[in-house]
A and B are shown apart, each in its own frame.
Chain A
């Protein structure tokens, strides 16, 4: 089998990328999706709040997904469902995609371009090395969400949540609405990793305490969780002795971070960035492997699906440009260097010779800031200065670089965020 563009993943990123690629003139696009439906994780996100930026209305997850699924259907974009990609290898000028499924068996598809849209997974308990027993009743928040929203079963009745990522906050409310008692949400950092609106709407509105600078230091229970111990942590994030507090509960939900799922990217030789865990990409969202693009949560973890869709559309257009011979590949580009509170940028390089009239740069800061100022500089020359009253690690930021600002001879561009003096 041969296709111009193969898109791995039919969640919000894969769908938007496929639609944009097709609309940009790439006719032969195929989506491979491991679930039996398109839509990805949106299908289990039955709460509303999706699409405010894109559609100017508040949709549920499945409603947001449906808009893209319908569009993909209208454009007659083929997709193989219940199909898991198990390997990616460079071959000739393209990539061979190996997938398996019940209905089609083992397939090897030759693609001129590939768009990585595999999303992310949740960090498990083991990665945190939380001491204690290993009973039933410990779930990552997303697994619990699937059990409640898709399967119709309750993971537990008395719940402690570790981590204040958005899924944890959403699940605090969801479990409460289903009749469970959520005792508290403990967060290691002195700030929440989730959106402010979720803290208000999911915790404050239900009287669920958020314990910042706290973590779980022990899990009890032989067969099923019977309790957890929570302790305050110091500035070094280490538990402070004699601050332990015991909670009797049957369930511990973990919302302690999302990890871009890049095993396939690694297999094909894509270079990953240590901070994001996602591919290193240029302004076209192309990786170090020509014709392999990345977008959505596999590239870096997003807070809003609207931004995933925007980013993915950009990847889709560029992949179309690549297969139609309209967009050059590779090249050095000008490195974008994060400074001050900026933790990372996507993309990592910008090539003025290739870029459209504008390039979007997405980034996050590493701490809570008030009266912040963001600057983009080429050497001493300030290209952009933006004031931001509040910045938070939980909220993704973006700015636009205009091609007109660049001469092409810049050695690097520095993106910095700091408090106003």
Chain B
């Protein structure tokens, strides 16, 4: 928000702006609508000082018609962003939905057979498939375990970061950033090698002989969980650490003067203050972990022994691309989208309710 300072605007209308933007008078003050984050081309807007008007001017000119007070101007600025979002988000989701209602396999793509409308046929096939329900359950449980572990590890290490000296802090930061920067395929392969029955150092250190970690369903999931936590905790840690740093030190001092324990400080002071950050990292983690693909695909060789380690995303891939049933894969994609939307909405709702009570 600090960027929304008073600047002379009319002369600095960016090249992308529509003609109306140059209108003098109340127009600039009403351009506070679009925020920098929503602009698809902030780089283009930024050099000219940005079209954002002084915040104080918002809504001042009484209730005249939107056109007269330049009500459409924000939308003109938003138009490029909307077009990009429409092209990159709405259109693919629309296609996904459309394909899920068709019979669309390789034969239809390459014109060997005509594309036919199936109604909810693909969904019926999917919901009748016993394996789908098993995979769905496995995905939900696995994602939940990943989210909880990632948040626990990330928050614990964030608190630890605030407690240690500069050198260990730097070391921990570097280690975390290294894990963060490692591509998922590389990370998975390395973890697999660490736990390799024949050559892996883990078995050698633990003296487990040639125990195979990927044979049993739960140990295979646990192994993948370790990798997922390892590569996603840095995001939580860094974000929460930044949040803790922003908490005024007087508050923490006051708490410790009152004799609060570490745990108490976290629970009653830090966590409530960090709520917005925790909400963001939780939702991010839910979405990431629900969509885990690479780790399962690489570490369990495409879904494990007899498909025991399949999660929805890998299952959708197997259906859509390995066996070219694009329409069935799309149906799985739509189901995943709806589940994630529902989970996110419910979660936000819950938080808001809690917030009101607090």
Q: Do A and B bind each other?
A: no
